[in-house]
A and B are shown apart, each in its own frame.
Chain A
């Protein structure tokens, strides 16, 4: 079956540090890949997505590139802010559609001044 593995947290960084949150997946074919973010006390919201190999999703300074050869979709940001503190979820939607998302366990990010 499909699965998503992401690095455990919490990840604690100083403001303006570089962020990487690793995500790898197991799925047949060419799933679509997503990063969702959950701010404290809120529901999940889409951060970025990529629907085919080598696509780069980007939003709010965050980027992730769909790497079919390594089955990865790592999230990066060059300079984090305190306001980026949240839980980040990697997810996939299976090839062929169906809209059923499989989520990773989430990575909590804490950014300190």
Chain B
């Protein structure tokens, strides 16, 4: 079984709709991250959490919110989706003692 899972893997939604992307991990890591990937822009950090009670904005947090429901779960919400949020979204985890991040398989989101 995969250590970092994301649901859904693909999603099509309409402008203005609320959508939630979910991430779960079985690695026992305390740190979790959400990134978006756009062609030609690499990966950009949306939000990150170093602990269940710790939530921090990344470089592109506008239009997004997150919830850390448990050490193993970190959800990303788009309160009112817009077309330029069409992208590939990745969740990642890391241990506070190591710098290596472990990525989920990604969620491909299309906002019409």
**Residues of the A chain whose Cβ atoms lie less than 8 Å from the Cβ of B48:** 99-100
Pick from A43, A44, A89, A99: contact of B99, CB under 8 Å? A99
> What does the 1/0 interface line of B26-57 toward A look like (CB < 8 Å)?
00000100000000111111001010000000
**Residues of the A chain whose Cβ atoms lie less than 8 Å from the Cβ of B109:** none
Which partner residue on chain B sits nearest A32 by CB separation?
B99
CB pair B99 A97 closer than 8 Å: yes
Cα(A24)–Cα(B59), bound, Å: 21
Nearest CB in chain B: distance from A12 CB, A:
18
CB pair B101 A43 closer than 8 Å: no
The reply to whether the CB of B74 lies closer than 8 angstroms to some CB of chain A is no
Nearest CB in chain A: distance from B56 CB, A:
9
Nearest CB in chain B: distance from A98 CB, A:
9
CB pair A44 B90 closer than 8 Å: yes
CB pair A104 B99 closer than 8 Å: no
Pick from A32, A41, A43, A93: contact of B103, CB under 8 Å? A43
Interface majority SS (helix, strand, loop, mixed), chain B: strand
**Residues of the A chain whose Cβ atoms lie less than 8 Å from the Cβ of B41:** 105
Nearest CB in chain A: distance from B100 CB, A:
5
Known: A45-B103, A93-B99. A99 touches B94 (CB 8 A): yes
Interface size class of A (residues with CB under 8 A): 20 to 34
Known: A43-B90, A43-B106. A101 touches B42 (CB 8 A): no
Cα(A106)–Cα(B40), bound, Å: 7
Nearest CB in chain A: distance from B54 CB, A:
12
Nearest CB in chain B: distance from A8 CB, A:
8
CB pair B104 A43 closer than 8 Å: yes
**Residues of the B chain whose Cβ atoms lie less than 8 Å from the Cβ of A36:** 103
CB pair B100 A46 closer than 8 Å: yes
**Residues of the B chain whose Cβ atoms lie less than 8 Å from the Cβ of A103:** 42-44
Can you identify 5 A-B contacts, CB atoms within 8 angstroms?
A43-B4, A44-B103, A89-B43, A97-B99, A101-B43
A45-B103, A99-B96, A101-B45 are known contacts; what are 9 more A-B pairs with Cβ within 8 Å? A32-B99, A34-B100, A43-B106, A44-B90, A93-B99, A97-B99, A99-B31, A100-B58, A105-B41
The 7 closest A-B pairs by CB, nearest first: A43-B103, A105-B42, A103-B42, A44-B103, A103-B43, A93-B99, A43-B105
